[in-house]
Amino acid sequence: MAKTVAVIGAGVSGLTSIKACLEEGLEPTCFEQSSDIGGLWRFTEKVEEDRASIYNSVVTNSSKEMSCFSDFPMPDDFPNFLHNSKFLQYLRMYAAHFELLKYIRFKTKVICLEKNQDSSVPGQWILVAERDGKQESFIFDAAMICTGHQIEAYVPLASFPGIEKFKGTYLHSRNYKSPERFHEKTVVIVGMGNSAADIAVEICRKAKKVILSTRGGSWVMSRVADNGYPWDTIFHSRFADVTRNYLPWLFLQWMTEQKMNQWFDHENYGLVPRNRSLMKEPVFNDDLPSRILCGAVTVKPIVQEFTETSAVFEDGTVEEKVDAVIFATGYSVAFPFLEKSVIKVEDNRVPLYKHVFPPQLEKPTLAVIGLIQPLGPIMPTSELQARWATRVFKELSTLPSESIMVADTVKRSKKRIKWFGTSRSQSIQTNFIEYLDELAASFGAKPNLLWLLLKDPKLALTMFFGPCTPFQFRLVGPGKWAGARDAILTQKERIIKPTKTRVVDSSSCHTIFTFLKILSVLALFAAVFLSLVQH
Ligand code: NAP
């Protein structure tokens, strides 16, 4: 049975993996190449080699009640969508509260992770790490790779003939930090993911002209949903999920399209996805339609060719005097330190059992945490993956045979293509609640709603019709948290608190409005009565 665990990376997935190890009585040692925690969420002015890089303005696109860890709600005064610095603050609070920092070796880069062939204990790993130019070797019973999937920039230069002749500057969105350098410039942004849209709306306030060039288009959603609630607290309810799963496929596609076009007609804005029926990860951007409406951003099809100074688009139109091109074309999955034969990445697809375990290992002692793009937030997803993985390390949960695991990855991949399509950007995409339930069921943390309906109907109904918040996975099973019920029943208050910063005495207003309504109905009746009498 595993005892010592190497955790590689101290971002969202790394921190929750350390905690999951501690909960199971394992001994984690976390290796973090930089000098601080936070991973992707720790903004730096300079791009650091081998580390994810974000721009200054990044704000989460999943809300705080959905994105928190399951036994650590965010403070009620935190906004619903958090600036990266605020999210980092939350991660610092989490690390401090659960005393995780002492398990992290900072400025220590993992150079190599390979199977220990000499071991009399199968499943062990040799890890070589470097600090201050000195290498050290360790042996671990298990390892958790928590390095994410947004480090290696994907720049498909071969798809853009003429780019080598282009005399302006070009860069990947990973190298974009802030809009100042694009002052009065004509900028072409390639791609239609969240990075492309964010950068376009930010740059267009400084630049002379911004062209958003997309081959596949995308649905664009607002962070603000029905009645002003954060989008994911409405979209990710169990009720909505069951409805989506049981609706006939064609009807669901039609309904999705109607819903997406409710805010603005995507066809009229040139954004409509090429395959509009897919549930491909939408873009969350409240400003993009408005910027297009104001002429500050122009949407164009994909660039067919670059010349020294211009971009020629697929529809034959040409943009002259282009100063800069930003390739917001996504990332490639990579494990530079891992023994090659352990995980084979093909066309950005990673064949892992339930997105976590390589199926071919002699013993399941290697888990990849957070290498996934759920339709919902990554934080609770990584957390459940880590909780399950540590149970497997301890042999308290077992995995099926290799052939069953391989068959499962094939089946999962087919389902992914049906729902999200074949685009490279969707290669690790998955649905949300169904996946969380599946992970939780693997180690006994999935709540039983029918049983709860008898025992605690108020809680069961909130869980079914309200947002499927992470606390739902701390009600039963290993890692059960006594505060989970209360956290679920008070989540709505925490959502409303940061927006309801001006409180009006609504009772007197309501009374006046009700009185006025009654008065106008009476007046209407009187008018009808008088007109009938007069005739
Ligand atoms: P992405 O989601 O992978 O999108 C890449 C885009 O590039 C897609 O539109 C793709 O088009 C396009 N593309 C790729 N290869 C291309 C080619 N050869 N020619 C033309 N277009 C090409 O990358 P991202 O926007 O950087 O986002 C990465 C992840 O970070 C996502 O999960 C995203 O949600 C997340 N993110 C979050 C935030 C936030 O929380 N605020 C901000 C930014 C990013 P096709 O779709 O047609 O393939």
CATH number assigned to the domain comprising residue 173: 3.50.50.60
For every residue of 86-122, DSSP letters joined together read HHHHHHHHHHHHTT-GGGEETT-EEEEEEE-TT-SST
Asked if 513 and 492 sit in the same domain, the reply is: no
Give strand pairing partners of 126. Answer: 114, 139
Joined tokens for residue 376: 């919902």
**Is there a domain that residue 345 lies in?**
yes
Taking CA atoms, 423 is separated from 34, 134, 163, 416, 463, in Å, by: 32, 42, 23, 11, 34
β-bridge mates for residue 136, sequence order: 129
* CA gap 362, 402 in Å, rounded: 9
Domain for residue 69, yes or no?
A: yes
Half-sphere exposure of 136 (CA within 13 A, CB side): 8
Kindly give the distance from the C-alpha atom of residue 394 to the centroid of ligand 1, in angstroms, as a whole number: 37
Same domain, 200 and 111: no
Based on the fold, state whether residues 139 and 201 are members of the same structural domain: no
Distance from C-alpha of 58 to C-alpha of 199, rounded to nearest angstrom: 10
The closest residue, in CA terms, to atom 28 on ligand 1 is 330
Give me the tens of pLDDT residue by residue for the chain, a chain 535 residues long: 779 999 999 999 999 999 999 999 999 999 999 999 999 999 999 999 999 999 999 999 999 999 999 999 999 999 999 999 999 999 999 999 999 999 999 999 999 999 999 878 889 999 999 999 999 999 999 999 999 999 999 999 999 999 999 999 999 999 999 999 999 999 999 999 999 999 999 999 999 999 999 999 999 999 999 999 999 999 999 999 999 989 998 898 899 999 999 999 999 999 999 887 677 889 999 999 999 999 999 999 999 999 999 999 999 999 999 999 999 999 999 999 999 999 999 889 999 999 999 999 999 999 999 999 999 999 999 999 999 999 999 999 999 999 999 999 999 999 998 888 888 888 899 999 999 999 999 999 999 999 999 999 999 999 999 999 999 999 999 999 999 999 999 999 999 999 999 988 766 556 666 667 777 767 766 765 666 566 5
And the tokens for 340?
């090659």
- Measured in degrees and rounded to the nearest 5, phi and psi for residue 461 equal -70, -40
Q: Would 299 be classed as within a structural domain?
A: yes
Of 308, 329, 350, which marks where a domain is finished? 329
Q: Does residue 68 sit within a domain?
A: yes
Residue 469, domain extent: 1-154+333-400+427-503
**Pocket residues: Cβ below 6 A from ligand 1:** 58-61, 150, 156, 159, 173, 190-196, 198, 215-216, 281, 302, 328-330, 373, 423-425
Q: How far is the CA of 323 from the centre of ligand 1 (A)?
A: 22
Q: Is residue 482 part of a domain?
A: yes
Residue nearest to atom 32 of ligand 1 (CA): 373
- Ligand 1 centroid to Cα of residue 212, in Å, is 13
Residues 167 and 282 grouped into a single domain: yes
Is 357 within 8 Å of 367 (Cβ atoms)? yes
Sheet of 104-105, strands arranged across = 104-105, 27-31, 4-8, 142-145, 366-368
Q: How many domains are there within the chain? A: 3
Give the separation between CA 17 and CA 11, rounded to whole angstroms.
10
Mutation test of ligand 1: which of 160, 201, 425 has the most ligand atoms closer than 8 Å to its C-beta? Answer: 425
59 domain-assigned? yes
Q: Do both 177 and 304 map to the same domain?
A: yes
DSSP H stretches of helix in 38-168:
64-67, 84-97
DSSP per-residue letters across 22-68: HHTT-EEEEE-SSSSS-GGGS--SSPPTTS----TT-B-SS-HHHHS
SS3 71: coil
For residues 95 and 210, membership in a common domain is answered with no
CA distance 39 to 488: 28
- The closest-lying atom of ligand 1 relative to the alpha carbon of residue 61 is 40
- Flag whether 251 is in a domain: no
Residue 282 and residue 381 share a domain: no
Do 282 and 313 share a domain, yes or no? yes
The last residue of one of the domains, among 329, 347, 376, is: 329
Which atom number of ligand 1 is nearest to the Cα of residue 331?
Answer: 3
Mark out the alpha helices in 204-355 (DSSP H runs).
Answer: 231-235, 238-246, 249-263, 288-293
Closest-CA residue, ligand 1 atom 26, reads 330
Are residues 36 and 50 in contact, defined by beta-carbon separation less than 8 angstroms? no
Specify whether 59 is located in the same domain as 81: yes
Q: Report yes or no: 420 and 429 within 8 Å, Cβ to Cβ.
A: yes
Look at the block and give the residue holding tokens 């071969």: 158
Structure tokens at 14: 């790394």
Tell me, yes or no, whether 253 lies in a domain. Answer: no
Do 17 and 41 lie in a common domain? yes
Domain end call among 305, 329, 353:
329
Q: Are residues 272 and 292 in the same domain?
A: yes
Based on the fold, state whether residues 104 and 173 are members of the same structural domain.
no
